[in-house]
Chains A and B, each alone.
Chain A
Amino acid sequence: MGRAKEIIVKVIPAKIANEFVKKHHYSGKVVPNSTLHFGAFLDNKLHGVLSYGASMDKRKILPLVENTKWNEMLELNRMAFDDYLPKNSESRCISISIKLIKQNAPHIKWILSYSDGTQCGDGTIYRASGFYLTGVKNNTGQRIDLKTGEVFSQVTFSAHRPNQKDYWKTLQKLDGFQLRYIYLIDKSCKITVPILPFSKIDELGAGMYKGKKISLIERNRAQQ
């Protein structure tokens, strides 16, 4: 684990977290729903941010885990790190942040997160952190403006730009997958949707690492 052990995780203000996410997240965008932000510190500087908050369509999300009440789950909706942090930092930060959620908000029973297999990755960090894979879907909801490189998701676009339907039609569809992961803080909770084996990622051709399409098998082979 090396120096990853030295990382300190603290609650940080939204303003700083958003500034960091805009600079270091591959999308360059923040999620307005984020309400709880953790900062990862090493050598007295902020090198990573994990932002948690409510899910966009919470009514549909809650039933993913049996008997979840309105405030009993969180979505890890942004995670961004700079190049300074050593290997394994991401999973260590997730682990610390979940411990802090357990301590400060013991009513939170599970965490949801998505990985973007159209531009970023298939969720290596989530798998390493003990998340269950509960969905791999063709991500038809994302489009890119080829002139500016800006990527929009259908959900946020229709919410924030209701009068720009013609502009939406000019954007190019992004090819790829969205993977849904769930981490059970309360291990007695039951996930109501099928838990997928990680091999499903290769089966569906959804493998991606650092923005490049590559299967899990190919990655494992390269590491050996």
Chain B
Amino acid sequence: MIKVKITDIKTNPNNPRIIRDEKYKKLLKSIEEFPDMLNKRPIVAFTDKDGKYVVLGGNMRLKALKELKYKEVPIIVANEWTEEQKHEFLIKDNVGFGEWDWDILANEWDTEKLEDWGLDIIGFDLDADELGTEFSLPDGDKAPFQQMTFTLADEQAEQIKNAIADIKETEEYKYCETMGNENTNGNALYLIIMQWAEQRK
């Protein structure tokens, strides 16, 4: 490992990794709070034709270190690698082969800290405080179904039949809300109307 001037290191334009704002802020915080980690897990780079170093592993860290006004950065130079090995490293350095045991993390670790350290906690973001525990369900003994009758011109009836047949072939129909209705034509017609209503919004 050597220490080099930060101005002598270039980011790698071929690195396909990106970092979002929130994660980047966490990376900045993480470096500020625990700078010695950089010595134990330095940036990996190779020497370019102009004598400067190109990052193979640590593009995001370099960006963060520049923003944090670091003058020198510890790096490991991997000049002995072939072009193919350099490419391979770009990906493999970022692939996580293991999996998190969420049961242990949820039970044994401080999840706020984990999120602070940049770990994406699984689960959907939804504010439980905004939600309630109250609801109502229909009661009584009446089957909540009814039949409706219309008079249609033959051409109109044909169009409706075709539309019903068409919508039954769609993916949306598979997930149409039936409210317990087993009449497929009724469900299809309802879906057509709902889609029409959606378009009018």
Contacts and interface: CB of A to CB of B under 8 A. Distances in A.
Interface of A: 2-3, 8-12, 14, 16, 18-20, 30, 32-33, 35-36, 39, 41-47, 53-58, 69-72, 74, 82-87, 100, 103-105, 107-108, 156, 159-163
Interface of B: 102-103, 105-107, 111, 121-128, 131-144, 165, 168-169, 173-180, 182, 184
A57 B123 contact: no
B169 to A, nearest CB: 7
Given A11-B134, A18-B175, A44-B128, A3 B106 contact: yes
Contacts of A9: 133
B106 A159 contact: no
A84 B124 contact: no
Contacts of B106: 3, 42-43, 84-86
Contact of A32 (B124, B134, B175): B175
A47 B123 contact: yes
Given A2-B107, A46-B124, A70-B141, A84 B102 contact: yes
Contacts of B169: 161, 163
A42 to B, nearest CB: 7
A82 B173 CA distance: 27
B135 A47 contact: no
Contact of B103 (A46, A55, A86): A86
A84 B131 contact: no
A30 B123 contact: no
A160 B141 contact: no
A50 B106 CA distance: 21
Given A84-B122, A86-B106, A70 B143 contact: yes
Contact of B133 (A11, A30, A35, A70): A11
Contact of B126 (A35, A39, A43): A39
A3 B107 contact: yes
Contact of B139 (A41, A71, A87): A71
A45 B125 contact: yes
Given A45-B122, A54-B180, A70-B141, 16 more contacts: A9-B133, A20-B124, A35-B179, A36-B137, A41-B128, A45-B124, A46-B123, A47-B122, A54-B179, A82-B102, A84-B106, A84-B121, A107-B137, A107-B139, A161-B168, A163-B168
